[in-house]
Amino acid sequence: MTKYHAQKSSAFQDWHRADIVAALRKAGWSLRRLARHHGYASPTTLTHALDRPWPKGERLIAEALNMNPAELWPSRYSDKRNT
């Protein structure tokens, strides 16, 4: 028997972390290079924004892609849009 899982509405589905990393690479960045560019001592600092809310990291990643963080992580910003 096959089970079907309801997916989130596409309007509120966050980008997959691999898609974000791929988009950064297409734009000429990597998470490590972006972290170093912004002066972080640890080159893996910005990976935290992929897994959990961190507004500053989200903003840096989104700016590198010429996007708004809410476009990449709509579920993290959906409450702010509804208020």
Note the pLDDT tens digit of each residue in 26-60.
999 999 999 999 999 999 999 999 999 999 999 99
Q: pTM for this one?
A: 0.80
pLDDT of residue 78: 82
Q: DSSP string spanning the chain?
A: ----PPPPPGGGPPPPHHHHHHHHHHTT--HHHHHHHTT-SSTTGGGHHHHS--HHHHHHHHHHTTS-HHHH-HHHHHHHHH-
Residue 72 maps to which CATH number? 1.10.260.40
Structural domain span for residue 49: 29-82
Provide the residue type at 45 as one letter. T
Q: Are 83 and 48 in contact (CB under 8 A)?
A: no
Q: Tell me whether residue 18 is in a domain.
A: no
Residue 5 pLDDT grade (very low, low, confident, very high; cuts 50, 70, 90): very low
pLDDT of residue 11: 57
Q: Tell me whether residue 5 is in a domain.
A: no
Q: What is the pLDDT of residues 56-80, one digit of tens each?
A: 999 999 999 999 999 999 999 986 5
Q: Tell me whether residue 3 is in a domain.
A: no
Q: Tell me whether residue 74 is in a domain.
A: yes
- Tally of structural domains, the chain: 1
